[in-house]
Structure formats: C-alpha cells, structure tokens
Amino acid sequence: MPARCDVMQVIDAKTGEQWFLIGGQKYQSEADALAAERAMMRCSPMQGMLALGEARWAAIQSYRDNEAAWAERVIIDRAGDWLRGSQNIQFFAYLLGMEDHEVDALFRLAASIEA
C-alpha cells in the first residue's frame, strides 16, 4: 500500500506545459489526478480508526450502537479494507460532517500508520 499518493503539479520550464502526477501517471487536470489518487486510497480498519482518532471513532460507535440498522452494524464491525470511494466511507464522512479534502487527508494519514 503506498504511504502517500499526493497529487504533484509539474510545469515544463521550457514549454510552460502543465500536468499533474499521481503514482507515476500523468494527468491533464488536477481533478483527474485527484480522482486517480482517491481510487487508489485504501487502509485497514485499524489504520482508519487510528487516523480518525478517539472522538471521531466514538461518534461512529455511538451511531452504530444507537441508530444503525443491522447491515450497517455488520459493515462497521466486519469491514475489510476501507476504500476511499466506497459508500460506507461517504456515509462516515457525512455522519462526521467532513469535507472531501478532510477525508483525503485522513486516508493519507492512515496509509502512513504502521502497527
């Protein structure tokens, strides 16, 4: 799993041509590069919980214990790798009131956690 996949802007000093790099691939727009980065983002539940921190994870656990449907409880309790683009992650972000850039930052942080 890559530790970090930040989008890097490159400008050719001679031609002025601009492109964006992610994972060694060239993209014409930052949006395309970010979409590619997000497609590669994944972490284990342990990495995700540690990146979220105690307070955010407690909010998810509170939802799980008090409001979640059975299927949601199974997903929270038994999920394999967390994928950035999954509906479950989108729901966590909604539940926690997080913006896309915050979720991206947490996935980057999670990928750097080793245990």
pLDDT score for 5: 53
Q: What is the residue type of 77?
A: D
> Is pLDDT larger for residue 115 or for residue 104?
104
How many Cα atoms sit within 13 Å of 49 on the Cβ side? 14
pLDDT for 50-71, tens place per residue? 999 999 999 999 999 999 999 9
CA neighbor of 36 nearest in space, from 51, 48, 24: 24
pLDDT for 5-50, tens place per residue? 567 788 878 888 887 877 778 888 888 888 888 999 999 999 999 9
pTM of the model: 0.80
Distance CA 38, CA 108 (A): 10
pLDDT score for 72: 93
